[in-house]
Amino acid sequence: MQEQRVMILTGCASGIGKCLSESLYREGHHLTLTDVNEKALQEVSRKNQWDPKRVVLQKLDVRKSEDWKAVIQTTLSRWNRIDVLFNVAGVIQPGFIHEIDLNAIDFHIDTNLKGTIIGTKLAAEQMVRQKQGHIINIASLAGVTPVRGLNLYSASKFGVRGFTLSVAEELKEHNVTVSVVCPDAVDTPMLTLQLDYPEACLTFSGSRALAVEEVGKVILNEALKKKKLEVIYPASRGWIAKLASVRPQLAGFLMSSLIRKGLKNQQQMKERH
């Protein structure tokens, strides 16, 4: 029988967070599931008929340390430990830097990066005390190579990736594992949002959008079970992204063809929706 562990997840009302919540519940774990949209989170729970003995639902604005402290305390009061934290919640707002509103800067950095840092810091305090734990942060392929038209999102995800790799070295001596997962475009509401923004065409330059279920399996198999430090999926796009990051001029050379492909795929996907 698989060990039942205590896990906290963010962004559970939709997308990857919702998928992970459902998978982990089926595996029998104890879960604190959070989202800034409390109503949507409650609806997900109602549809899944989750047992309240194993699931706690709590509103969490990841930008607020007070919310994070409340989630940590709720989990400890209920189960006395935290085995795994999944930092999944994220936002995206495409736009070129000379056209975006200044508020978009805080929107990305506070949610995607600051939220991950706060959650990691508070979970790490408890995990160091209990001498074990695992923190899994969801970044993006946009955190491996810069993406035109997604400058703030890319900056925030580069930050998540860099932060994760740094604290992984700090925490391993305390028996706390830290992983970062960098998927390509995933078919979630965040992807649908980008359909109306030509600036985001590079998001659609791959051969296909990844299904949320396959990304969920990759996170659970490669990060959670195998405890890999960094998971980039799919590997083929990951190697291209890393090469482009090391040799930015290569990305510039390919940019025109990638934009054309992305615009075509973006339009086709928009028509299907």
Which are the catalytic amino acids?
153
Please state, in angstroms and rounded to a whole number, the distance separating the CA atoms of residues 110 and 116.
9
The two structure tokens encoding residue 126:
């408890």
Q: Beta-carbon neighbour count of residue 125 at 10 Å?
A: 11
- Structure-block tokens of residue 72: 């940590």
DSSP 144-158: TS--TTBHHHHHHHH
Q: Is 73 helix (H, G, I), strand (E, B) or coil?
A: helix
Closest CA to 204 of 212, 215, 213, 193: 193
Q: Are 199 and 251 in contact (CB under 8 A)?
A: no
Question: 67 near 59, Cβ under 8 Å?
Answer: yes
β-strands 230-233, 176-183: how paired?
parallel
